[in-house]
Amino acid sequence: MLHSLESGNIEQQFDWLVLALPGPQSVALTKSINKTIEEVANHANMQGCWTVMASFKENLHLPFDAAFINDEIISWMSRNNSKPNRSGLETWIIHANPQWSQEWIELEKNEAARLILDCAKKLGLDGDGANIAIHRWRYASGHTYPIPGFKIREDLKLGLCGDWLHGGRVEGAWLSGYKLASQIASIHY
Please state which of the four CATH numbers 3.40.50.150, 3.90.1490.10, 3.90.105.10, 3.50.50.60 is assigned to the domain occupying 2-44+143-188: 3.50.50.60
pLDDT recorded at residue 144: 75
For the chain, list residues with pLDDT below 70.
Answer: 188-189
Amino acid (one-letter) located at 153: R
Q: Residue 140: its pLDDT value, please?
A: 83
Looking at residue 103, what is its pLDDT? 95
Distance of CA 99 to the CA centre of its chain: 15
> Identical fold at 2-44+143-188 and 47-141?
no
CATH number given to 47-141: 3.90.660.10
pLDDT at position 114, please? 96
* Cα torsion 139, 45, 20, 29: sign: negative
Q: CB within 8 A of 104, min separation 6: which ones?
A: 50, 112, 115
Q: What is the pLDDT of residue 189?
A: 64
Q: What is the pLDDT of residues 175-186, one digit of tens each?
A: 999 999 999 999
Q: How far apart are CA 94 and CA 80, in angstroms?
A: 10
Radius of gyration of the CA atoms of the chain, in A: 20
Task: State residue 131's pLDDT score.
Answer: 95
All structural domains of the chain with their residue ranges: 2-44+143-188, 47-141
- CA angle (75, 77, 79) in 5-degree steps: 170
Secondary structure of 139-154 in HEC code, one letter for each residue: EEECCCCCCCCCEEEC
Amino acid 37: pLDDT: 78
